Amino acid sequence: MKEPGAEPFLPQRPTLAKLRAAVDECRGCELWEHATQGVMGRGPASAELMLVGEQPGDREDLEGEPFVGPAGGLLDRALTDAGIDPEQVYRTNAVKHFRFSGTSGKRRIHQSPARRHVLACEPWLVTELELVEPAGVVLLGATAAEAVMGTSFRLSRSRGRVLDWPERVDGRGGKPEFVVATAHPAAVLRSRHRSEALAELVHDLRVAARALRQAS
Ligand code: URA
Ligand code: SF4
């Protein structure tokens, strides 16, 4: 099924503040129905680095802020270890509403968004990119990586490398100078080899930090 997409719900003359208000009214796909609220990205409009995750998790859905749950805690730690100030980055997600299964009972089980949800939601991300104009973008996990790089992108093969921004994601204004894909912090938390997985994430974030210094 083709989703109507988020385009009609974008504010005119957008600002980050307007996006935050508008995302909650989006009906661009069906994910809004069971979610608590839409979760827009967060961070300084002047951020040099934008981090893109998958979708809000349980905590993010309840609080209305990205990366405030366990994955966000791990991400903060990894950023700090990589020499990046967590306060200076803009964090967002490929999809702005929480998708989950198992609505009965208390526990909501995360379910990855489908390609159609990612495509429906893309106008929000493109608008964030236009407003923040980051020099670099870090894609966290396969959903974000495929959302930006296309579905033939293989995270396992291409993570931790400085790549050119793809032509297909083209907003107005300047495009990012580089993009680095890496693991999702939630995958690090789930890993049976957590300290190695964390070290790999930190390694990839250092690659992005170095590229950022060269870009500016
Ligand atoms: N996982 C994500 O991809 N994004 C969040 O905001 C939280 C967890
Ligand atoms: Fe709109 Fe994205 Fe939410 Fe779907 S997930 S309703 S496209 S904001």
Termini Cα distance of the chain = 43
Where along the chain do its domains lie? 7-215
Global pTM reads 0.96
The CATH number of 7-215 is which of 3.90.245.10, 3.60.110.10, 3.40.50.800, 3.40.470.10?
3.40.470.10
Phi, psi of 179 (to 5 degrees): -140, 140
Ligand 2 pocket residue status of 38, Cβ below 6 Å: yes
Instruction: Render pLDDT for 170-196 as a digit per residue (tens, 0 to 9).
Output: 766 679 999 999 999 999 999 999 999
pLDDT averaged over the chain? 95
Atom of ligand 2 nearest to the CA of 120: 7
Going by DSSP bridges, is the β-strand pair 109-110/100-101 parallel, antiparallel, or unpaired? Answer: antiparallel
Instruction: Render pLDDT for 12-49 as a digit per residue (tens, 0 to 9).
Output: 999 999 999 999 999 999 999 999 999 999 999 999 99
pLDDT band with cut points at 50, 70 and 90 for residue 163: very high
Ligand 2 pocket residue status of 94, Cβ below 6 Å: no
pLDDT band with cut points at 50, 70 and 90 for residue 104: low
Give the alpha-carbon dihedral of 162, 163, 165, 168, to 10 degrees.
Answer: -150
Ligand 1 pocket residue status of 56, Cβ below 6 Å: yes
Beta strand extents in 31-157 (DSSP E only): 49-53, 90-93, 100-101, 109-110, 136-140
Q: How far is the CA of 120 from the centre of ligand 2 (A)?
A: 7
pLDDT at 168 over 90: no
In this structure, the residue with its CA closest to atom 5 of ligand 2 is: 97
| pLDDT (0 to 100) of residue 1 | 60
| pLDDT (0 to 100) of residue 169 | 80
